[in-house]
Each structure stands twice: as structure tokens, then as C-alpha cells.
Chains A and B, each alone.
Chain A
Amino acid sequence: DIQMTQSPSSLSAFVGDRVTITCRASQSISTYLNWYQQKPGKAPKHLIYAASILQSGVPSRFSGGGSGTDFTLTISSLQPEDFATYYCQQSYSTILTFGGGTKLQIK
């Protein structure tokens, strides 16, 4: 399996802050990288695919980058509704895998 490692595992920030979450793959996955947001008690929501392409309807304050083994999810100006847990996922392999998640909390 391709292992996905996210950092940090948790993060506290203020509304209006710029935050970046990182995701590292155990081998090169080109840009086969997705990001999801999950709020408590809810199903995941797809945010970004192909490392940097925003899913329709996702606010432009979200952006993704990277290729190979190192990827980032950046939120340019945190809004109250952005406090959630974020997961990366690789789809390079037929067997997909998620990162461990990053819990973004309000400071």
C-alpha cells in the first residue's frame, strides 16, 4: 500500500488566518492526490482533486499544490465554517489510501 502521512495532526488557528496542511506519500504519486473535509457527524466532502483542481462549488480560499511525494492544502483566510478535519487521499494506486487527518480547531 501507498502510505499517506499528514502533518500536523491538529492545528489551532484564528478566523482570518492563513493555514497550510501538508501530506506526504510513501512513494511518488504524481498529482493523484485528493483532499476532503469532514465535519463532526457528517460524511466527508470532496474539496480538491488532481492535487490542485477545486471541486465545483468549493470556495476559492482553498487551494492545493504539490506533486510527486509532497502536497499542501492551504486555506487563505479561515472562515468559521472551515473548522473541521481534513484528509488527503492518494488515487495513484488501484487501492486508494487516506492520510491520518488534520483536525483544524478554532483558537
Chain B
Amino acid sequence: EVQLVQSGAELKKPGESLRISCKGSGYIFTNYWISWVRQMPGKGLEWMGKINPTDSHTNYSPSFQGHVTISTDKSVSTAFLYWSSLKASDTAIYYCGRHAYGGTFFEDYWGQGTLVTVSS
């Protein structure tokens, strides 16, 4: 069974750093890119970027380029999303998704989401 399991909720202060994780299982991790998606409170889905676990090649949405870093550790089948200095506006639920291909690309399996709250 394909699963993406994300790390737990985080409460952080502005200016702090944070790394959240997404562990894949039930499939060959390096065969699929991993995407990250943001959902701010009461708002829609925003696609942030994706990473190829084989070579760590990344593509970022311009809206998120330079604000977050996506990485992977293929030895433990895990992708990460990292902030060096959080802002209150980073408060959101973050989802990872398996980026699949079937003629077009789409996210076919999703993690359960990680709630990040940034507040002083």
C-alpha cells in the first residue's frame, strides 16, 4: 500500500527555522517526484514545488522560490520542506504528494498534512 506519512504539527515563533518531513512507503521512492502544496487557513491549494528523489533536482513555483527549500534523503525515503526564518504568513497546512505520470502529471497519493503555526 502506497503511503506518505508526514511529521506532526509544529508551533514556532517568527524568525525560527523549521523542517517538516514526508516519508514514502509501499513503492520505490526514487521512481516518483514529490510535490509540496500549501493551504493557508480557509483558503485554496497552492502548488509550491517538487523534487526528484533520484538526483534532488527541484522545480519551485516563483511564489515560493527563495522562501523554502525542498530536499530529500533517499536512503530513508523521505522528502523535506525547510524554512530558515519563519513568518506569521507561513501559518498553513502543508501537504506532500506523490507526483505521478499517466499521460499527464498529477499527485496521486497524498500525505495527511502538517499544520505549521507561526506565532509570537
Chain A residues within 8 Å of B, Cβ to Cβ = 1, 31-34, 36, 38, 43-46, 49-50, 53, 55, 85, 87, 89, 91, 94-101
Is A50 within 8 A of B102, CB to CB? Answer: yes
Q: Does the CB pair A43–B112 fall under 8 Å? A: yes
Interface residue total, chain B, C-beta cutoff 8 A: 26
Q: Which residue from chain A places its CB closest to the CB of B98 in the assembled complex?
A: A46
Instruction: With both chains docked as a complex, state the minimum distance between the C-beta of B112 and any C-beta of chain A, in angstroms.
Output: 6
- Chain B residues proximal to chain A, CB less than 8 Å: 35, 37, 44-47, 49-50, 59-63, 95, 97, 102-108, 110-113
**Contact in complex: A91, B44 (CB < 8 Å):** no
Chain A residues whose CB sits within 8 angstroms of the CB of B112 once the complex forms: 43
Report the nearest A residue to B47, measured CB to CB.
A96
Query: With a CB–CB cut-off of 8 A, which chain A residues contact B49?
Result: 95
Which A residue sits closest to B107, measured CB to CB?
Answer: A46
A-B contact count (CB 8 A): 69
Task: Give which listed residue, A33, A85, A98, contacts B47 with CB less than 8 A.
Answer: A98
List 25 A-B residue pairs with CB atoms under 8 Å apart, sorted by A's residue number. A1-B62, A1-B63, A32-B104, A34-B104, A34-B106, A36-B45, A36-B107, A43-B95, A43-B111, A44-B97, A46-B107, A46-B108, A50-B102, A55-B108, A85-B44, A89-B47, A91-B106, A94-B59, A95-B47, A95-B60, A95-B62, A96-B105, A98-B37, A98-B45, A101-B45
Known: A44-B95, A46-B107, A50-B104. A1 touches B61 (CB 8 A): yes
Residues of chain A within 8 A (CB-CB) of B35 are: 96
8 Å CB contact of A95 from B61, B97, B110, B111: B61
